[in-house]
Amino acid sequence: MFSALVIAVGVVLVRGDDTVIRPPAPSPSATGETTTREDQASELLARLEDGLGEGDRRAVLGLAASAPSARRSLQAIYGNVQTLDIEDLSLRYVDEVGGKLTDADRRTLGRRAWVGEVELSWRLGRYDKGRNEMEVAFTFVDTGDGVAFGSAGGPYDHGAPLWLLDDLALRASGRTLVMAADPGDLEKYSALAVRAVTDVNKVLPSWRDDLVVEVPGSQPQMERVLDAKPSTYGSIAAVTSTVDGSARESAPAHIVVNPVVFGRLGADGAQIVMSHEATHVATDAAISSMPIWLLEGFADYVALAHVDLPVSVTASQILSDVRRKGAPTTLPGAEEFDPANQLLGASYESAWLACRLLGERYGERKLIAFYEAVDDGMSVDEAFPRLLGTSEREFTREWRAYLEELAS
């Protein structure tokens, strides 16, 4: 997963304009051995790791470069590590990241700054059962006497955890934790998260884990947290993902909110989205490979199970489509759930109605058993006849008729 560190000594590069670029010369250590800036960056990270782990604020802030932004960044990181009770923190220098600094970092940190790739691992003490592992970008500054911290989590083709990017406000309530870039968001999202836990437990009473909700300050910051390309989630209100983006079974999963889209939702819509995402957390959907219509449809089934809204409201888009051009011929797949799909809302609604139909035809307990069997690896081709006494083809026919009946 991680590339080996390769140090080239005595290399001279000549650009097309004949400008000669020489890497900074290694400096001798007190013992006479050559110390590279990579070695110095590794030493800085070890001191940062120790300072954060020991709660030594002065030691942590003493690692900052002279730029005020570097000290502010370390202040935020220190505060987040302490208030989030981050444990098992590890920082390891991997390699230098090719390419230039951003103009902003060059102006702030100077010409002697560079970008390094850092292997980061950690967990939230109470809330994460497993460790999170990811590579993040740090900027370092060659001071002449050593290396200082410049920034962490910058825009260098790497994701980064929210606690590394912003000074966060926190609210813990029962089984929920909300971390938000804007303190004004805490009360709203905490109430939604607490209600979401209740909603999920009404359908899945055996789920007893905690729920973590991350609320970045902007959509670009959300996409940094998810290591996504710009505008990927322009139409998505929230996403459930493993924190480090991996598919490891032990990887913790959090809800990450898009504050721009989520902020436009009404009270009912906001709660439905939060309860939908909480269902994903409860069922480990972030690492599931089941058909997406079942994955998303079941999450909406749980979120809407105890909501007093007519189907004409909760499925308005798909029913409108059915009236115009008839029912879809197949259950929605990956293409229909592409965030760029202009009919994305109708895809979610059609998947929900498929699971609603399963619940009505066979009962909620059989729907849950069907979902869990497919989640455990049974194919839908096998699960339909074995658990429900039908076939996917026959169910699809019934689902199409169901849509047409609701749309009439």
pLDDT tens-digit readout, 267-325: 999 999 999 999 999 999 999 999 999 999 999 999 999 899 999 999 999 999 999 99
pLDDT at position 7 is 25
Average pLDDT over residues 62-76: 97
pLDDT for residue 404 is more than 80: yes
Per-residue pLDDT band for 35 (boundaries 50, 70, 90) equals confident
Average pLDDT over residues 60-85: 97
Per-residue pLDDT band for 34 (boundaries 50, 70, 90) equals low
pLDDT at position 306 is 86
pLDDT for residue 13 is more than 70: no
Q: What is the CA radius of gyration of the chain?
A: 25
Burial of 95 (0-12, 13-18, 19+ CB in 10 A): middle
- Better-predicted residue by pLDDT, 4 or 63: 63
Average pLDDT over residues 68-86: 97
Of 99-103, 237-241, 360-364, the range with the lowest mean pLDDT is 99-103
What's the pLDDT tens digit per position in 376-400? 999 999 999 999 999 999 999 999 9
Average pLDDT over residues 319-348: 95
pTM: 0.89
Quote the CA–CA distance of 72 and 332 in Å, as a whole number: 47
pLDDT at position 98 is 78
What's the pLDDT tens digit per position in 173-230? 999 999 999 999 999 999 999 999 999 999 999 999 999 999 999 999 999 999 999 9
pLDDT at position 243 is 96
Of 22-36, 83-97, 288-302, the range with the lowest mean pLDDT is 22-36
Per-residue pLDDT band for 100 (boundaries 50, 70, 90) equals confident
Residues 6+ apart with CB under 8 A from 1: none
Quote the CA–CA distance of 172 and 170 in Å, as a whole number: 7
Instruction: Tell me the average pLDDT of the chain.
Output: 91
Other CB atoms closer than 10 Å to residue 171's CB: what's the count? 18
pLDDT at position 5 is 27
pLDDT at position 2 is 35
Average pLDDT over residues 234-245: 95
Q: Which two tokens stand for residue 404?
A: 């047409």
Residues 6+ apart with CB under 8 A from 89: 49, 52, 53, 81, 121, 122
Quote the CA–CA distance of 168 and 213 in Å, as a whole number: 12
